[in-house]
Structure 1
Amino acid sequence: MSYSVESVAYWYLSKEEMSPKKLQKILYYAYSWFLTLQNESSDELENKLFEENFEAWVHGPVINSVYDQYRHYGYKEIDKFEGDLPKFDSEALDVMEQVWEVYGGYSGNELENITHQESPWLNARKGYQPLDRCRNEIEDKDIFECYIQRVN
């Protein structure tokens, strides 16, 4: 079962206000770890937290629709979400909580630097210079193969 990316974003924004960059990277790690922990192999990646794909932008993984929704904040913090949150199943909630525990203390810039060291973003940007505009999708298979190595 997958959720809307908006509902996952609201869940994280209910934790604290954060920059759009931090939100994008937190969503990336939630998606990545859910994909890795809820699938058996890189050949069958059916279980996803949400359906949107990440693109390998200059500042790290980005979902274009989320960027459009929060771009007016620029470098300012997005307000903390105070509304009603959707219900998530226990597997999704467990992964989302763990992602928050591990990555929630980092700033958007720190998370950007971490993603720039990891193979999914690097693979999607092959052939591009550091500041070149790139809209290549980060492949689910690359995500799975990168993070499954950390599980074992």
Structure 2
Amino acid sequence: MLYYIILIIFFTFIVIFTRKCYKYIRFRKIDNTDNESEANKMGEIKAVNIPIKADIKDVADWFLLKENMSNKKIQKLCYYAEAWSLVLLDQDISQNSDFEAWVHGPVSKTLYNEFKGFGWQELTITNPVVVKKRLDELFTKEQIEVLESVWDTYGEYGADQLEALTHTEKPWLEQRKGLGKFQSSTRKISKETMKRYYKSIAI
């Protein structure tokens, strides 16, 4: 009986958290247009053809300038940055932006290899002034707007909450189909599915 009560509480939390998180998403893409004033008035991000200079590790550094955080949380924020960049800008947020459907949610193998030596320690930026200057040269205004929007929407949540959220979303679920709950996998999450799914929930 206790087991079923715990399950009910868990899934109730997921539903409430998901609705709360999506409530604050205000991502909307507009097509290329000369109507800049209308775009600015609506607070939307204009889709443009942007040269991709940054690596996925640069995306991680951008979020780490906001706060120190765990490996798991940085993985999830970078995943959402990629997802919403696909929706809003019609392109990747960075190079090396593939994510795999691991047990604990979407994971960039590049980031995993970069940060695995830190274990459970929080990741941090040791020279924020230098890093910020470098990132300002790598990301365009439009890309920064996407990153800021992702941070505003997801940044307040913990790593476990973000993991739980990704476990309710189609892109991760699609690639976990047929796998056991704790079965390892290197299946890549489809970017086309990401784009379609997150576009469908944008307000």
| TM-score of the aligned structures, taking structure 1 as reference length | 0.91
Q: Deviations over 1:86-118 (max 9, x none)?
A: 221111000000000010011111100000000
Q: Cα distance, 1:50 vs. partner?
A: 1.3
Please say if residues 15 and 80 of structure 1, whose CA atoms lie closer than 8 Å, have aligned partners that are also in contact.
no
Look up the SS of the partner of 1:131 in the other structure. coil
Aligned counterpart, 2:119: 74
The CA distance in 1 between the partners of 2:175 and 2:115, in whole Å, is 24
Look up the SS of the partner of 2:131 in the other structure. coil
Whether 2:172 is the aligned partner of 1:97: answer: no
Sequence identity (%): 36
Look up the SS of the partner of 1:135 in the other structure. coil
Aligned counterpart, 1:145: 196
Where in structure 1 are there 5+ consecutive unaligned residues?
40-46
Q: Cα distance, 1:84 vs. partner?
A: 2.3
Please say if residues 56 and 121 of structure 1, whose CA atoms lie closer than 8 Å, have aligned partners that are also in contact.
yes
Whether 2:106 is the aligned partner of 1:61: answer: yes
Where in structure 2 are there 5+ consecutive unaligned residues?
1-50
The CA distance in 2 between the partners of 1:148 and 1:62, in whole Å, is 21
The CA distance in 1 between the partners of 2:118 and 2:104, in whole Å, is 16
Amino acid at match of 2:118: Y
Whether 2:131 is the aligned partner of 1:84: answer: yes
The CA distance in 1 between the partners of 2:89 and 2:114, in whole Å, is 28
Aligned residues: 145
Look up the SS of the partner of 2:77 in the other structure. helix
Moved over 3 A (4+): none
Look up the SS of the partner of 1:26 in the other structure. helix
Whether 2:59 is the aligned partner of 1:8: answer: yes
Larger RCO (alpha carbons 8 Å, 6+ apart):
1
The CA distance in 2 between the partners of 1:21 and 1:146, in whole Å, is 22
Look up the SS of the partner of 2:122 in the other structure. coil
Whether 2:158 is the aligned partner of 1:107: answer: yes
**Larger helix proportion of the pair:** 2
The CA distance in 1 between the partners of 2:172 and 2:67, in whole Å, is 26
The CA distance in 2 between the partners of 1:21 and 1:131, in whole Å, is 16
What is the root-mean-square deviation in Å for CA atoms of aligned residues? 1.2
Q: Look at both structures and tell me which one has the larger radius of gyration over its CA atoms.
A: 2
Look up the SS of the partner of 1:61 in the other structure. strand
The CA distance in 1 between the partners of 2:196 and 2:181, in whole Å, is 23
